[in-house]
Chains A and B, each alone.
Chain A
Amino acid sequence: TISLVALGKDGSMAAGTTTNGKAYKIPGRVGDGPIAGSGSYVDSLVGGCGATGDGDLMMRFLPCYQAVENMRRGMSPAAAAEDAVRRMVKRFPDIQAGVVVMNNKGEHAAAASGWHFTYSFRGQGMNKTHVVQVDPI
């Protein structure tokens, strides 16, 4: 799964997700990827979020909606991402999840559980994409 968030120079934002889902799924199964608030979510007034992991569980928590709303209530991207992941870990301690968050100023962070997660970013003046390693909480 890849989930992306883009921030333009004018402050506009968009987000999206595309995936082939989980291997060996029961035919007809749809995961978290296309669910707004789960696979990704964005509000240009606040920021955006992308997520990946165990979609059958994550789609019950809408972690990206949670992360964006956390930022709306004043949290930093790092705190917002961590809170969204901790809410899932509290009920499913073994969950594999990764959440990447960016506010509408271009500040970004991520949180993960169950694996060593990575995320990528590229901004103004960067001649290549940078990859950030994220330890599980």
Chain B
Amino acid sequence: TAPPVVIHTWGGPFTVAADAAHDALTNARSVLDAVQIGGAACENNQCDGTVGYGGSPSENCETTLDAMIMDGNTLNVGAVGALRRVKHAIAVARHVLEYTGHTMLVGDSATLFAAQNGFKEEDLATDQSRDMCEHWKRNQCQPNSWIGVVPDPKSSCGPYTPLENGASETAPGQDGGDIKGRGHD
């Protein structure tokens, strides 16, 4: 495909990202701008519920965001992990890239960095994400990511405590098994 080119994972609702990023490139924006603009388009459109605010709630019903952006010319990287209460994750990652010598900021400290850079703090939950979380709780907190704890995480909600005999034989990484139904990013 002749440049400028944008490719990305997924189709369907995600194609807003390619359209936005390609439009940026054809309007003389940089490739970093294009990636940021494409990612932000998906964040704003909550692509498939797996990008941006109001999706993939944690056990505490909170939506947190992960993002990174990488410059292929300099190999400079900016990233945020478990970013709380800020919608524009890839833009915050861009700020990490542009204005720090670090690679990744996480959690509340990433939120503080974002606020110091002018990003608005707001609740990332939506009615839909709250409903998802409440349904999950009513379904005995299934699926979840706990292993080797009591009560049995395959049938009960927490709080959990470790089994006296240590990690369960089903721990991912031991035999490669039991990963079906664990969900994905």
| Chain A residues within 8 Å of B, Cβ to Cβ | 1-9, 11-36, 39-44, 48, 50-58, 60, 91-96, 98, 100, 102, 106-108, 117-126, 128-129, 131-132
Interface residue from B25, B66, B80, B141 paired with A31 (Cβ < 8 Å): B66
Task: Let me know if A16 and B184 touch, CB within 8 A.
Answer: no
Task: Let me know if B185 and A32 touch, CB within 8 A.
Answer: yes
Instruction: Specify which chain A residues have a CB less than 8 angstroms from the CB of B179 in the assembled complex.
Output: 54, 57, 92, 94-95
| Chain B residues within 8 Å of A, Cβ to Cβ | 1-12, 14-15, 17-19, 21-22, 25, 30-32, 34-36, 38-40, 42-43, 47, 49-53, 55-60, 62-73, 75, 77, 79-82, 89-90, 93, 103-104, 106-107, 132-133, 136, 141, 143-146, 172-173, 176-177, 179-180, 182-185
Interface residue from B49, B73, B145, B176 paired with A13 (Cβ < 8 Å): B73
Residue of B nearest to A44 (CB): B72
Task: Let me know if B185 and A54 touch, CB within 8 A.
Answer: yes
Q: How many contacts A-B (CB < 8 Å)? A: 310
Residue of B nearest to A88 (CB): B176
Instruction: Specify which chain A residues have a CB less than 8 angstroms from the CB of B17 in the assembled complex.
Output: 2, 4, 120
B126 → chain A closest CB, angstroms = 11
Task: Let me know if B59 and A25 touch, CB within 8 A.
Answer: yes
Interface residue from B1, B65, B144 paired with A121 (Cβ < 8 Å): B1
Instruction: Specify which chain A residues have a CB less than 8 angstroms from the CB of B21 in the assembled complex.
Output: 4, 6, 122
